[in-house]
Amino acid sequence: MCILDWQASVVRSPVYDLAYFLYSTCSTILDRVDELLREYHDSFSDFIRQLGSSPELFTFEDLQRHWKKYSVVGVTFLPFLLKLILIDENDAPDFGNLKEGEDVGELMNVVPMSDKKQYFERAKAAFAHHAETCMD
């Protein structure tokens, strides 16, 4: 089975997007990651069946292994994502005016955080969750 990520136009594990999403949401949802992965896989399996294929090509155990291996990307990009999520609308950078060759990272360095306490609480919870559940 080949899973295509249309947003990034790459073939990769669905865990990339799941990790971005789950680690960038509120920290209390992290207590339910196993349940949410199960729900995701059940829905994914139904869709695979509708396409005429077998969900056994990507089992729940496969998803769990992928989570342990690839969810680090969600934690890695979390500091960047949280800045965008928590920024005051009036302070948000205008990516539409980005000039060719301009560094997005530099643009993000000047983004003021409106809620540093929430930023650090959410980042700490995500890093702790990943360390406890994915690192052997």
Confidence of residue 10 (pLDDT cuts 50, 70, 90): confident
Model confidence pLDDT, tens digit, residues 35-52: 999 999 999 999 999 999
pTM value > 0.85:
no
Q: Percentage of the chain surpassing pLDDT 70?
A: 85
pLDDT score, position 130: 94
- CA quadruple 8, 12, 13, 15: dihedral positive or negative? negative
What's the Cα-to-Cα distance from 26 to each of 8, 17, 50, 81, 120, rounded to whole Å?
Answer: 24, 16, 33, 13, 12
